[in-house]
Structures are given as C-alpha cells and as structure tokens.
Amino acid sequence: MDGEEFAAILDGSLANPLLRGLDIACVRLSPADSSWWSPRSHRTAEVYLYPGAFGSEKLRYMDDRARELVERTAARLLGAREARLLPAPPVPLRAGEWLMEGGYSVMGFGSILFVSTSPLWCLVSLLSGATTALLGHALYAVMWRRTAHLDRIAPAIPATS
C-alpha cells in the first residue's frame, strides 16, 4: 500500500470533511521488520505529507484536537499505538514546489479577475493555475521519490489480512 492508497482509506475513515484530502507522501512504520507483529513491540507510524495546501501547510492550520483525531485514526488503521503527521523531507530541486505555489497564486488571481473582468478570464486563470499546481505536484512527487529514495525512507505498510 502506498501513500495514495492509505490517504484514500484515511479519508473514508474521517467524518469531518475539513480533515480529509491530506496529501500523503509515504508512511514509515517502526519497527520496520518482523518484530512489528510482536505483542510487546511499541508500534509507531510516521505519516509524511507533501508540501502544499493539502499537505504540510494544512498542518499549520490544524488545531491540536483535529491533528490528534487524524493521528489517532491513522494509528488505528495501521495497527500502531501512535502516529505522527510530519512534513516530508525537502528535495534539492524546488521546481515542483515553485510550480505548486505559482499555480495556487494564479488560481487566487483568477478570483480577482472574476470581480474586475469577465468570467471567461476567471475560468482561464483558474484552469491554468490548477494545471500548473498539478504539474508541480507531479514533478515534486517524482523528484522526491528519486532523491529521497522512498523505499529506504518508508518501507511498505504491512498487509493486515
């Protein structure tokens, strides 16, 4: 199971729509070996979030109760005693982050255009901003997987049945 699959399962488990849609890069479990299944092991999970509005930026705006709810839900789903939400480690090439931020800025500029000009320009601005943000997200994900060596940082989540 990768980060996207776990994000979909986590979204289905959360009742509050404001807490859904986290942009999960990967999940790191500790211990990462067969001792995970030992009844005495202290199982922990680290959920890494991509940068951006639905990733590590969302952590800044979450209050303690919301963060605790997401962490408890993630821990329950993974079979861990505790889970922590953490920002993903940065990558050396920041082009993906720049594209994401630029896309969000263009989308914000689109709402200003809607007030001052025609809805057509607003739509063009919103679509181009969304496309740029998605392109940046894809580029960041590829670069993060290549430079951070995702398999070594975050082993696969063990199957639970």
Q: 34 with 53, same domain?
A: yes
Q: 67 with 131, same domain?
A: no
pTM across the whole model: 0.64
CATH number for 68: 3.30.70
Q: 83 with 104, same domain?
A: no
- Tens digit of each residue's pLDDT (9 = 90 or more) over 57-71: 888 888 899 999 999
- Tens digit of each residue's pLDDT (9 = 90 or more) over 15-58: 888 888 888 888 888 888 888 888 888 899 998 887 777 788 88
Tell me which residue has tokens 């859904």.
20
Has residue 160 been placed in a domain?
A: no
**Which residue range forms the structural domain that includes residue 125?**
95-135
Percent of the chain with pLDDT over 90: 13
Query: How many domains does the chain divide into?
Result: 2
Has residue 84 been placed in a domain?
A: yes
Has residue 141 been placed in a domain?
A: no
Q: 115 with 75, same domain?
A: no
Three-class HEC string of 20-48: CCCCEEEEEEECCCHHHHCCCCCCEEEEE
- Over the Cα atoms of the chain, what is R_g? 18
Q: 11 with 83, same domain?
A: yes
Helix (H/G/I), strand (E/B), else coil: 161: coil
Strand order in the sheet with 44-49: 24-30, 44-49, 82-87
Backbone dihedral angles phi then psi of residue 81, each to the nearest 5 degrees = -80, -30
Has residue 143 been placed in a domain?
A: no
Q: 23 with 49, same domain?
A: yes
Amino acid at position 79, single letter: G
Entry field: residues in the chain? 161
Half-sphere exposure of 67 (CA within 13 A, CB side): 15
Q: 20 with 65, same domain?
A: yes
- Tens digit of each residue's pLDDT (9 = 90 or more) over 119-151: 787 888 888 888 988 888 788 777 766 665 444
The backbone region for 52, taken as left when phi is positive above 0, alpha when psi lies in -120 to 50, beta otherwise, is: left
